[in-house]
């Protein structure tokens, strides 16, 4: 099993550009989530999903969209990138809401 995979690993955007961070898992987990990690602020939940077709907002959802059309994939869309969205983004999946498996992260810089 590949576990949780994220692409790309690194990305540089200009302010106003849009892009999609990809996340996929091959463990047949129902739960998936997106976090951003900033120095001194830990991991903050952006959006999460408890199954295909079901998504909900986390702590910091503004500027991000998600969809969950399949169990395996949970892409995160940045609509109009801003420098405040410079961060490391982690996708995670779980068979319950407890034990989460994390991807390797996407390091995003918005200029």
Partner 1 sequence: TQLLEQSPQFLSIQEGENLTVYCNSSSVFSSLQWYRQEPGEGPVLLVTVVTGGEVKKLKRLTFQFGDARKDSSLHITAAQPGDTGLYLCHGSSNTGKLIFGQGTTLQVKP
> Which residue ranges make up the site for partner 1 (CB under 8 A)?
4, 33, 35, 40-45, 48, 50, 58, 90, 92, 97-105
**Closest separation in Å from C-beta 15 to partner 1:** 26
By beta-carbon proximity to partner 1, the closer residue of 45 and 82 is 45
**Closest separation in Å from C-beta 100 to partner 1:** 7
Burial class from Cβ neighbours inside 10 Å (0-12, 13-18, 19+) for residue 83 reads: exposed
**Cα separation, 54 vs 18, whole angstroms:** 23
Q: In what order do the strands lie in the sheet with 76-78?
A: 4-7, 19-25, 76-78, 64-66
By beta-carbon proximity to partner 1, the closer residue of 45 and 52 is 45
């Amino acid at each position: 099993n590949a576990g949780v995979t994220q692409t790309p690993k690194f990305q540089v955007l200009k302010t106003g550009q849009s892009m999609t961070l990809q996340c996929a898992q091959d463990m047949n987990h129902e739960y998936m989530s997106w976090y951003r990690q900033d120095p001194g602020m830990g991991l903050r939940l952006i959006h999460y999903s408890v199954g295909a077709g079901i998504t909900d907002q986390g702590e910091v959802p503004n500027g991000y969209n998600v969809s969950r059309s399949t169990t395996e994939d949970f892409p995160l869309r940045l609509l109009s990138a801003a420098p405040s969205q410079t961060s490391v983004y982690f996708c995670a999946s779980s068979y319950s809401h407890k034990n989460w498996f994390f991807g390797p992260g996407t390091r995003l810089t918005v200029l």
